[in-house]
Amino acid sequence: MSEQVVASRRRQQQHAGQPRRIPSQQRGRERFEKILAVAAELIESKGSDGLKMSEIVEKAGLSFGALYQYFPDKSAIIRTLAERFNEEGRRCVEAELEKVADAAALQGALANIVDEYYAFFRREPVMRDLWHATHTDKLLQQIDAEDMEFHARAFLAVLLRLWPDRDHGELLAIARLTMQLLAAAVRYAVSLDAEEGARAIALFKTMQVVDFSRLLG
């Protein structure tokens, strides 16, 4: 029986979108990172829809068995890449929100987050591809929803700190909507060329000047 067939049967026992295991030994980690690096190169040149496990095997110089030792399918690779990019974005958001000491600083923090997210997606064509693919890919929609909820909860923590007496549900609704609007603006801007996208981001920041003190009293 061929190695491909055996690996395929084993893959069916794995949950889609999850790595089989995260290696702890140096050689395994190097192989794991090599797979992700090759996959990122292929996504950048062909898009996530065009990613093929056979091409990863060929370009990484691995056997199918070595590949499937870590990733049961291409969904697991895509999810791992998306979550890594999301983790970088989360660090950016947390760093900006930690600086907020009063209501007056909120708008500046949000503007910085918009700028940093836009710059991040401009320099990471792989993440741009994955983000655009969320329109049709259920796995990526789930990852995106989880990431958006993380950002909303981080923003909610700031709102609760500044307005502890306000209704929690009201603040959560504001946090979620604020982050959804921010993400939508960045998503739209990165679909444009660089110059037009920068103008769209600048316009969004002008339109989204919110006086949270006035909004929340």
Measure the CA–CA gap between 22 and 29, rounded to whole angstroms: 8
pLDDT (average), residues 92-99: 93
pLDDT (average), residues 43-64: 91
Query: Is the predicted pLDDT of residue 11 greater than 60, yes or no?
Result: no
Q: How confident is the model at residue 57 (pLDDT cuts 50, 70, 90)?
A: very high
In angstroms, the first-to-last Cα distance of the chain is: 70
Nearest CA to 151 out of 207, 64, 87 is that of 87
> How high is the mean pLDDT of the chain?
86
Tell me what pLDDT residue 19 has.
56
Please answer whether residues 35 and 13 qualify as being in contact, where contact means their C-beta atoms are separated by less than 8 angstroms.
no
Tell me what pLDDT residue 22 has.
66
Nearest CA to 176 out of 186, 184, 188 is that of 184
pTM of the complete model? 0.79
